[in-house]
Each structure stands twice: as structure tokens, then as C-alpha cells.
Structure 1
Amino acid sequence: MDWANLTAFVAVADQGGFSAAAESLHLTQPAVSKRIALLEESLRARLFDRLGRQVVLTEAGRLLLPRARQILAEGEAARRALQDLDQDIGGRLSLATSHHVGLHRLPALLRRFTAQHPRAALDIRFMDSEQAYNQVLQGEVEVAVTTLGPTEAPLRSALVWHDPLQFAVAPDHPLARLPKATLADIAAHPAVLPDPNTFTHRIVAQTFARRGLALQVRMTTNHMETIKMMVSVGLAWSALPHTLLDAQVQVLPVPGVQLARRLGYVVHGGRTLSRAAQAFVGLLEEEASSS
């Protein structure tokens, strides 16, 4: 049943006539008559009897009236709920992120999000970037904020931060004594890196492979803070983001070599994001434009 036709039906019943109903609805009388005719046709029942100038409900009309009022009331309630949803975002934001990105990039954004949308619940899952991609693909989460790797449809990714890696060693590491380091110099010493299947490991390994050099990997762990600790005590070199660089480690500039890493968000191109997810993606895009 069409809501406009139901609205006209209730108005005629309440006003006691077509002319009064038309005036209350800001319509012409023929328009109201047409809506009633369409409703009667769809229900295959006569709803009003015209007794001279008087309009009275038929038995079918009396049966329909309370149900029509209920349908219209529920429709108005749904409209208000959707309007409230636009104005006051609730629901749940399901988000996957890597430990490093979650600890070093998201706190300020999450603070802004929760301040703007206090009714929204957060479901944050910490995992490797590659797992986060898969979580979005499988529909387990709406948004992933991770190291960006190759992205194919139906996934869609967007850059938020450039996050280049720097070769780093402990200040007393043998490499730290070199006035200039080359990739060959670095490859002669063991490294500590994330697992080989991670985007970050591939960035580093491919940089050496292009020069015909192989890596000596002493150990792997996907926690960048642990990698930084291993570097700081002199056990190995690694490639660290600038957020982890401090006096505990020494940067090794290598002329002509850049380890470009990109951080951003990933969503499923075929999924309609919740209002909470749309709002969070909006904050990420604002961050990207200001970075």
C-alpha cells in the first residue's frame, strides 16, 4: 500500500469529506479522490460511501482505519529514527588495524571520533596488515587501517600517511661506525624484520633483491616495538618508521635508497558502510588532506 494513498484515506475519514481532506493535505480534491480510488483498487474494497454530501466509512473502511493509522505512525517513527541517525551517529564501528598503526597513528583520530559520536561503540581488532585486508574482504570488519599493500577489487584502499622506513642500528653497532653505508654493507650483517609474508618485509627484501643482495634474517616478529628493542640492544639492524626513531638507535642514511611505506585505510567496494564507519572514514580523509 502506498503511504500517500493511506494518508489521503485517513484525512478523508478524519475530516469527514474530500474537500476538507484536500485542504488539510494542500492538494486538490481530484487528487485526493484519485488517491482513494487507487487505494480501493489495490485493496479491491470500497472504503467510503457517498451519501449526498456526506462521506461515511464502509465496513472495510472501518476495518482499515486503525491499521492505516498504525502503519503511518510506524512510518513516521522510522523517518524520525533515520533522521536521528544522521544527526547522532550510534551503532558499532568495526575496525581492524596493525599494532603499530593502532598505537602511533589512531589515538588522536579515535579521540575525535568518540568525542563527536559518543553513542557509537568501538570494535577494534589488532592484527597484521595482511590479516586486516582479509577481514575486510570476508566482511568481518568494515574498515582496516594498515600498511597498504597491493589492493585488488572488490577491496578499495586510500593513502592517509606516507611512512618511509629508515635503516637503524644501535649506536655501538659496527655499522654505526661507517661514515657512509651501502646496501652491501648492511646486507653483511643480520637483520630483525617482520615475517616474510608481511608488506613491510617485502618492501625491505625487494630493495636488496634489486641489487642482487640477500638478507641475513636473525629473527622475525610482527611487533615493531619489539623489533626496535632488538635493534637498540645491538642484536641486529632493521628498517624502522620515524615514529620509533629516538636516541636509542642510530639512523643509517643510504644514498640513493628509499624504503617507501604507505599507511591508509581499506574498505570493501561492494559494502554499504554504516554511518559510524562513514564518519570514521571521513576523519581519515581529513587526516590525509592535512598530512
Structure 2
Amino acid sequence: MAIDLDQLRTFVAVAEAQSLTRATDTLHLSLPAVSRRLSALEEELGVALLTRSTRRVALTQTGREFLPRARRLLDELEESLLGIRETAARRRGLVTIACIPTAAYYFLPATLANFARRFPHIRVRVIDLSADGVIDAVATGGAEFGIGMEGAAHPEVEFRLLRHDPFVLACRRDHPLAKKRGLKWADLHNETLVGVSRRSGNRLILDRALLPRGIQPSWRYETEHLSTSLGLVEAGLGVAVVPRLALPRDPHPVLVARPLTDPRIDRATGVVLRHGAVPAPAAQALLDLLEQNMTRA
């Protein structure tokens, strides 16, 4: 079988860019040269790895299965040639991860800064998506792994629990509820509540826990993202119930979080992985850092 490294590199670059044109910039090749390499690889394998259109390309099922193997082959060769220690200092490449917005906004930056210090030549692409979007991105090979919430089972992915995040009340420091150390859901009866839409995984967790107890919060405002709801709270429009992870780790100049019980509701947060896929060494290094930081947070 006459598959060469240039063909593998071209396939990985096109799959990650989801575009032949964008891949030409990464590879510093002409569009015909990229097309020839892909055609030669598919002809040698005897299967189609990509479907092409005028605007974008998409991985076939075989392509999705082959992508992590191609990444691993390229990375293993680099390690063999340079040595593990030298590779850690000189490795270049791209790691794509999918992440729910709450983790991407407040938690992920510190981990990425740590990763950049250790591997300065590796680029990281973060796709911030809904919880369902994270699962789909990992399942289809659009991301090497994801950070998401435990939810509906998917036959092609597995969820690795890292932490439980309690839902808390977020309010302004000058709000009367900020003076209390702890709150119950009954304390919110007369408050102006800011919530997220019914399409949100966080809303589903709350509804499943509250409705059987006969608790039906009256959400005055509904947003698509938790960061938007916190913006409304900061502007003084109401108070919000959010996972603790959605709030800054360091003290915020305007917002505070107060425990919320009776009932206490937790959200399971963790890593989403494709069944049977082995992350490339660079992706595994980032995954290891994320797991360490999330379990300590």
C-alpha cells in the first residue's frame, strides 16, 4: 500500500478545516495539489473519506473513523523521529475540542494558559456549543473530545464524570438576598427570575428536579446562554439560578453566589469521548490538564 505522509497530513488538514480552500493556507499548497493528494489517498484505500461541495467538505463515516487514526500515525511518527522529550518542546499541530459555554468562558482559559506554557507550538481550536452540540461534535469527529454535561446517551460517545456542580443563586452584591448565607427555593417566590430557555440542558435539569416537587418558578426573562442571564443580573434586572461553574472562580466586583437548597440540584460535568478513539498525544496532554484542573476546581 503506497500511502505517504503528505497524503495523511493533507487529509487531516482538510478534515480539521472542513474546507479545501482553508486547508491550502495551512498546507501552503495549491487547490489542485490538495485535491490530487486526497484523491490518491482515497484511491489507495479504496473508499471515500470526504464528500465535497462547492462550499465545504464533510467526513464520511469511514473518514470519521480514519481521522483519529491518521492523527495518531502522524504524531507517533513525530515522536519516533524526535524523541518524546524533544517532541514535547517542539511539537506543532492543532487540537480541536468542543465545550459548553460555561466551561469555555470561566474555567477553560486557565487550563489553556497552562497548556500553552508547556506546548507553545500547539494550536487549540475551541468550539463552544450546547450540551447536545458537544456530543454531536465528538460523535462525528469534529472535535477530539468535549467538555459537557451528562445527558441523553449516545451510541458513539461516552461520558466521563469529573465533578458535580451545584446550582446556586446569582445576584448583585447590593441585592437583599446577598446578605443571606443560604437560600431555599421558597425564598425566590417573589423575586424576578432570569432563566434559560427550555432548549437548554440546564433548564431540563432544573425542571426534572423541581416539577415533581410542585415547584414551578416563574421565569420573567429567558435567555439562550447562561452568560447572557448573568449579564441581565449584573444590570439589576433580576436574579438567576446557574451552575456554580458558570460564575467566576475569583470574587466578582458585582455578582455573588449563594447556596440554594430544598432541593439542592447538581449538574454532572465531565469529558465527552468517542467510543474506542485514542486521542493523539497532544490532545491527550490537554485532556490530562483539563481533568486535573476540573477535579480540583
The TM tier, using the shorter chain, reads 0.5 to 0.7
2:271 to 260, 265, 275: 265
User: Which digits, 9 at most, give the CA deviation of each residue in 1:66-92, with x for residues without a partner?
Assistant: xxxxxxxxxxxx986441476224332
How far apart are residue 170 of structure 1 and its match? 4.1
C-alpha separation in 2, matches of 1:285 and 1:270: 19
Structural mapping, 1:109-258, within 5 Å: 109-170=111-172, 182-242=184-244, 243-244=247-248, 246=252, 248-249=254-255, 251=257, 253-258=259-264
C-alpha separation in 2, matches of 1:121 and 1:151: 31
AA at the equivalent of 2:208: Q
Provide the alpha-carbon RMSD of the alignment.
Answer: 3.2
AA at the equivalent of 1:155: V
AA at the equivalent of 1:124: V
C-alpha separation in 2, matches of 1:92 and 1:228: 32
AA at the equivalent of 2:209: T
Q: Aligned with 1:106: secondary structure?
A: helix
Structural mapping, 1:27-176, within 5 Å: 81-84=78-81, 87=84, 88=87, 89-170=91-172
* Closer/same/farther in 2, CA of residues 168 and 289 from structure 1, 3 Å limit: closer
How far apart are residue 181 of structure 1 and its match? 5.1
Kept in 1, the 8 Å contact 2:192–2:219? The answer is yes
Structure 1 runs not aligned, ≥5 long: 2-77
Q: Aligned with 1:213: secondary structure?
A: coil
Kept in 2, the 8 Å contact 1:159–1:288? The answer is no
> What is the aligned partner in structure 2 of residue 282 from structure 1?
288
How far apart are residue 264 of structure 1 and its match? 2.0
Kept in 2, the 8 Å contact 1:205–1:215? The answer is no
* Closer/same/farther in 2, CA of residues 276 and 79 from structure 1, 3 Å limit: closer
* Closer/same/farther in 2, CA of residues 226 and 102 from structure 1, 3 Å limit: same
AA at the equivalent of 2:159: S
> What is the aligned partner in structure 2 of residue 64 from structure 1?
none
C-alpha separation in 2, matches of 1:249 and 1:289: 24
C-alpha separation in 2, matches of 1:264 and 1:86: 32
TM-score (normalised: structure 1): 0.62
Kept in 2, the 8 Å contact 1:148–1:199? The answer is no
How far apart are residue 222 of structure 1 and its match? 3.3
Kept in 2, the 8 Å contact 1:188–1:216? The answer is no
Kept in 2, the 8 Å contact 1:93–1:123? The answer is yes
How far apart are residue 146 of structure 1 and its match? 2.7
Kept in 1, the 8 Å contact 2:185–2:261? The answer is no
* Closer/same/farther in 2, CA of residues 267 and 235 from structure 1, 3 Å limit: same
Kept in 1, the 8 Å contact 2:159–2:271? The answer is yes
Equivalenced residue count is 215
AA at the equivalent of 2:80: Q
Percentage of matched positions with identical amino acids = 23
Q: Aligned with 1:164: secondary structure?
A: strand
Structure 2 runs not aligned, ≥5 long: 2-74
TM-score (normalised: structure 2): 0.60
C-alpha separation in 1, matches of 2:181 and 2:80: 64
- Stretch of structure 1 that moved more, 266-275 or 186-195: 186-195
